[in-house]
């Protein structure tokens, strides 16, 4: 018999929430959620990320101007997770070192650290009856969002989490088959049949909500064209590439 408990059941019921009631989270609750997030594992305890708590409607509107997703404007709090090597620069200088943050490794360290913490935050929110959605598209306006948030050198916006009290909950979205993602001992390359079958699963899930595209056709939108240059240009400006 498969072992399960309250925590696992909560995790298995996760669904993104984009529609919120007018109920606001208290500052104390938001701090608790963030502290739960910050308890997550991170690379060498360097904690190479920061979190900007956007509470005012004015600041939410400023972000919404560049990334018009209604969850940003209508949530209780919008948390922006920032890859942050700025503190590292000060620590290296304090110890007389030659700061060299530019490169893929630094970006992976800060991105993974922030992502692990963010998942903890969202899980903590769901455990208290709140919900949210992660929004990575703010990277498409990386420089503009950096200006709105006053991000200094060696920092860059990764994604945000819109948090609030769910106005409604969608059904849990089906994931790829376990065997298509989890392999024993070594990688097992999949055929296109796995993709075709998952397209059918996603179509059945979406039902009347279908928007004229399949799961795999949306892969073309993401990886069938040159990447949006916004993040790359901003990372160079922030001295991280």
Of 167, 174, 162, 203, residue with least CA distance to 64: 162
Give the pLDDT confidence of 68-104 residue by residue, as tens digits: 999 999 999 999 999 999 999 999 999 999 999 999 9
pLDDT of residue 210: 65
Which residues of the chain fall below pLDDT 50? none
Residue appearing with tokens 């088959």: 177
Superfamily of domain 6-172+226-237: NADH Oxidase (3.40.109.10)
β-pair partners for 157: 82
Per-residue confidence (pLDDT) for residue 170, from 0 to 100: 87
CA distance 157 to 107: 11
| Contact (Cβ atoms closer than 8 angstroms) between residue 164 and residue 133 | no
Tally Cβ neighbours within 10 Å of residue 78. 26
**Cα distance from N-terminal residue to C-terminal residue, the chain:** 50
């Amino acid at each position: 018999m498969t072992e399960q408990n309250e925590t696992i059941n909560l995790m298995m019921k996760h669904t993104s929430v984009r529609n919120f009631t007018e109920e606001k989270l208290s500052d104390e609750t938001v701090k608790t959620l963030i502290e739960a997030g910050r308890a997550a594992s991170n690379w060498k305890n360097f904690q190479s990320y920061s979190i900007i708590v956007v509470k005012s409607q004015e600041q939410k509107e400023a972000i919404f101007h560049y990334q018009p997703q209604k969850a940003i404007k209508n949530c209780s709090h919008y948390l922006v997770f920032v890859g942050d090597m700025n503190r590292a620069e000060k620590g290296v200088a304090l110890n007389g070192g030659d700061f060299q943050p530019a490169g893929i490794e630094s970006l992976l360290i800060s991105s993974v650290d922030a992502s692990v913490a963010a998942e903890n935050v969202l899980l903590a929110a769901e455990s208290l009856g709140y919900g949210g959605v992660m929004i990575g598209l703010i990277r498409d306006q990386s420089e503009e969002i950096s200006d709105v948030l006053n991000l200094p050198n060696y920092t860059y916006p990764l994604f945000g989490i819109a948090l609030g009290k769910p106005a409604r909950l969608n059904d849990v979205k089906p994931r790829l088959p376990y065997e298509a993602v989890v392999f024993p001992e070594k990688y097992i390359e999949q055929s296109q049949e796995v993709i075709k079958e998952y397209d059918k699963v996603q179509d059945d899930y979406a039902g009347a909500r279908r928007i004229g595209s399949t799961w795999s056709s949306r892969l073309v939108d993401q990886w069938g064209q040159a990447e949006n240059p916004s993040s790359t240009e901003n990372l160079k400006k922030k001295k991280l590439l």
